[in-house]
């Protein structure tokens, strides 16, 4: 087996759901750790106190501006990781932490939470609350192929990751309104229902063939827009779905 990449899980203000989701690859997680990635940093899983050098940092959670430790840690992560991945809605878009008002017992002054992209450049976004185990797995494998694969694999992995990198460039605000602004208002919606299926809080229903967003329910995780085939659709990748699905199955066995 060729050399592995190093991956760390950096925990900001999140609920640990992203880490649980990563672990929910079950034996797939062991496969990833056995063959493709060394976990060099992770709360409770790895006994390392300070952010080390690593290839890929999976960052969960948003940054609390009043928590000096978190601010330092996210900056350190950017310095020490080749690729920074915003893992999940909080890191990418603020998600549920966008709604916080502070006032929690013993740290009432901690009230301002921002997605990591407000403080550092982010390379890849994995939206969703929680991001799915399969999406995290796919990104891990593609990151591995991008860094360690053959030229052909590098090209495929690059094409796969491109839209997720474009999401990171697009900005760090997201909500169900994106479906209106970027899809319906742009004359692109064709009423497939992907957004409604993707929403973890059932804030999206389909009315008259188009998404209807219950904005009070929306947690700003970005899943609906990212899942929409009319947000991004990569022919290079999508036309190869059978081969890629088989490749993933094969390398995870």
């309104």: which residue's tokens? 177
Of positions 3, 152, 242, 250, contacts other proteins by CB under 8 A = 242
User: Cα–Cα distance between 15 and 60 in angstroms, integer?
Assistant: 9
Q: Which tokens go with 201?
A: 């809080």
By CB under 8 A, residue 241 contacts other proteins: yes
Among 81, 135, 175, 178, binds other proteins (CB under 8 A): 135
Q: Which is nearer to other proteins, 61 or 131 (CB)?
A: 131
Give the end-to-end CA distance of the chain in Å, rounded to a whole number: 14
95 is a site residue for other proteins (CB under 8 A): no
Q: Residue 109 interacts with other proteins (CB under 8 A)?
A: no
Considering CB under 8 A, how many residues would be counted as binding other proteins? 51
247 binds other proteins (CB under 8 A): no
Distance in angstroms (rounded) separating the CA atoms of residues 219 and 100: 12
Range 159-189 burial, b when 16+ CB lie within 10 A, else e: bbbebbbebbebebbbbbbbbbebbeeeeeb
Please state, in angstroms and rounded to a whole number, the distance separating the CA atoms of residues 177 and 20: 28
By CB under 8 A, name the one of 15, 119, 193, 218 that touches other proteins.
Answer: 193
Question: Which residues contact other proteins (rule: CB under 8 A)?
Answer: 21, 126-128, 130-135, 138, 160, 163-164, 182, 186-194, 196-200, 206, 208-209, 223-224, 226-235, 237-239, 241-242, 244-245
């Amino acid at each position: 087996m060729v050399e592995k990449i190093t991956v760390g899980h950096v925990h900001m203000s999140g609920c640990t759901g992203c880490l649980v989701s990563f672990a929910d690859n079950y034996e797939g997680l062991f496969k990833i750790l056995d063959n493709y990635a060394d976990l060099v940093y992770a709360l409770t899983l790895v006994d390392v106190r300070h952010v080390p050098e690593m290839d890929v940092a999976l960052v969960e959670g948003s940054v609390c501006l009043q928590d000096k430790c978190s601010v330092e840690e996210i900056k350190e992560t950017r310095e020490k990781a080749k690729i920074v991945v915003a893992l999940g809605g909080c890191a990418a878009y603020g998600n549920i932490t966008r709604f916080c008002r502070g006032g929690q017992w013993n740290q009432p002054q901690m009230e301002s939470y921002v997605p990591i992209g407000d403080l550092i450049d982010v390379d890849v976004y994995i939206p969703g609350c929680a991001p799915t185990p399969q999406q995290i797995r796919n990104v891990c494998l593609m990151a591995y192929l991008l860094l360690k694969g053959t030229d052909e694999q590098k090209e495929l992995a690059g094409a796969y990751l491109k839209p997720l990198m474009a999401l990171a460039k697009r900005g760090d605000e997201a909500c169900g309104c994106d479906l209106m602004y970027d899809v319906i208002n742009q004359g692109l919606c064709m009423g497939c229902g992907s957004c409604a299926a993707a929403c973890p809080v059932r804030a999206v229903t389909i009315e008259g063939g188009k998404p209807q967003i219950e904005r009070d329910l929306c947690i700003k995780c970005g899943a609906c827009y990212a899942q929409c085939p009319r947000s991004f659709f990569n022919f290079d990748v999508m036309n190869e779905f059978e081969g890629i699905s088989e490749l993933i199955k094969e390398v995870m066995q």
